[in-house]
Amino acid sequence: MAQQETQPTISVKDLAAKFNWERVTGDEESLKRKLVTAETNRPGLELAGYFPNTVTKRLTILGDKEILYIEQEMDEVSQRRSFEFLTGEDTPAIVIAHGHECPAILAEIAIRKNFPIFKTAVETAHTIVNVTNYLDEKLAHSIIIHGELMRIYGIGVMITGPSGMGKSEIALELIKKGHQLIADDRIDCYRIHNVLVGRTPKMLEGFMELRGVGIINVGRMYGVGAFAHQTNIDFQIELVSFDGNEEYDRVGIEEKEYSEIMGVKILKMRIPVSGGRPMSTIIETAVTNYLLLQDGFDSAKEFEEMVLKKIAANKEEDEDNAALS
């Protein structure tokens, strides 16, 4: 399963546009600053005169308490000392929430340093939640995995395996059966709120490559419901070449196998591919069995219990017959 890590970025300009913030200071050049973390900073310590280096790369948010403290507790000297730190080169921007005006000394320093300051009428807590959730998604670390990502019976299924295994052809059969394509060949995997999410680049959405045919538009051929923009990745199916000398899981009572992707574990099943096997039907069956497992029904364990009960009953019958004879 080939993986390639990517590092996303977002500019202050894009963030401000997302939430329609009013710009107070900073020109277009200042809006090119990049955000690298979803964490925000409410600068209580900095206003009190303590300047930790750990917060310099966070978006700074001033709310009711901070503005009140600045107005009532800070003299000009302490304001200048704190604001010089808060408008440092590493800090992307300052957002003033709850409709407050920007303190005059802060505006003066920001104009001199061409530092971006915004204000919004949204309450402080809501501003923080909105920003954190948005940045958590946009700045989530991602890796690229080569394979197919499908939504089958509502479950995000990643189909992986060596090149030439027929993954795209299997995915096409699943689409014809009414399931949805998320990504063909390239899966962009993100960890968002401890959940693994899969997408494909915008320009590739709804397209597939088939050897001998070329690029096809799945949406045009099978309808807009044949593909989706993203899905949680819940289950991995790894296709392997059939080898008569290798032991495969036949009953299902063996220890379950998992893949760990960006710290998230997902159930993994290895399925051998050989000529004549209806792979799309087998994958549908595997997903149905996965759904039963999530509901607490393990077909393999149920079968094992039936066999053990039958063995115990036969043993008891043999013992009774031996006692009678």
- Active-site positions read 146, 167, 185, 250
Number of H helices, E strands in the chain: 10, 18
**Distance from C-alpha of 323 to C-alpha of 325, rounded to nearest angstrom:** 6
Q: Over the range 126-140, which residues count as b (16 or more CB within 10 Å of their CB) and which as e?
A: ebbeebeeebbebbb
**Distance from C-alpha of 156 to C-alpha of 149, rounded to nearest angstrom:** 7
Spatial CB neighbours of 283, under 8 Å, sequence gap ≥ 6: 152, 157, 159, 170, 174, 237, 271
Query: CA nearest 178: which of 147, 146, 156, 152?
Result: 152
Query: CA nearest 116: which of 159, 87, 148?
Result: 87
Q: CB 189: neighbour CB atoms within 10 A? A: 24
**Distance from C-alpha of 281 to C-alpha of 194, rounded to nearest angstrom:** 31
Tokens (6 digits) for 232: 């949680």
